[in-house]
Structure 1
Amino acid sequence: MTDTLHLEERIAHLTRVVEDLSDVIARQDRIIDSHARLLDMLMARDAARDAEAGGSIPLGDQRPPHW
């Protein structure tokens, strides 16, 4: 009888751990989706900014004036 009780406790504990981990994964999935949308928005904004620049060389890619 003690073995059965011990097994039932273990099963209950493992069931709770699986549910907790499932909640964590669901929350992480929502965060990843949010970050992906934000990244898409930032990339679109950057592309629009590049298009507005009219094909000029980005400041980071320009040679310094002393060259």
Structure 2
Amino acid sequence: MEELEQRITELEIQTALQDDLIASLSDTIAKMQQTLDLQQAQMRVLYQKMQDKGANGEREAYSLRDEIPPHY
């Protein structure tokens, strides 16, 4: 009987540890999703800038050097 109680206790401990791990992984995934959403928004902005620059009739390729502030 004591052995059975010990096994049950060990299973309860394992379940508690797994619950903590699952919660931690869930938080990590949520943070990664936020980061991915931000990166996608930034990519949309850059893509729109490239489209706008091309729509102005300019034949030059878009360059990040065009974005350097004048004090550099």
Fold shared by both chains (TM-score > 0.5): yes
Structure 1 match to 2:22: 18
1:34 to 13, 38, 44: 38
1:57 & 1:38 partners in 2: Cα distance? 22
Structure 1 match to 2:59: 56
Q: Counterpart of 2:59 in 1: which secondary structure? A: coil
2:36 maps to amino acid: I
Change (3 A) 1:14 1:7: same
The one-character-per-residue Cα deviations of 1:12-41 (angstroms, maximum 9, x if unpaired) are: 000000000000000000000000100000
Higher RCO, 1 or 2 (CA under 8 Å, sep at least 6)? 2
Q: Structure 2 unaligned segments of length 5 or more: list them.
A: 63-72
TM, length-normalised to structure 2: 0.74
1:56 maps to amino acid: R
CA-CA distance at 1:58 after TM superposition: 3.8
1:50 maps to amino acid: G
Residue identity (%): 21
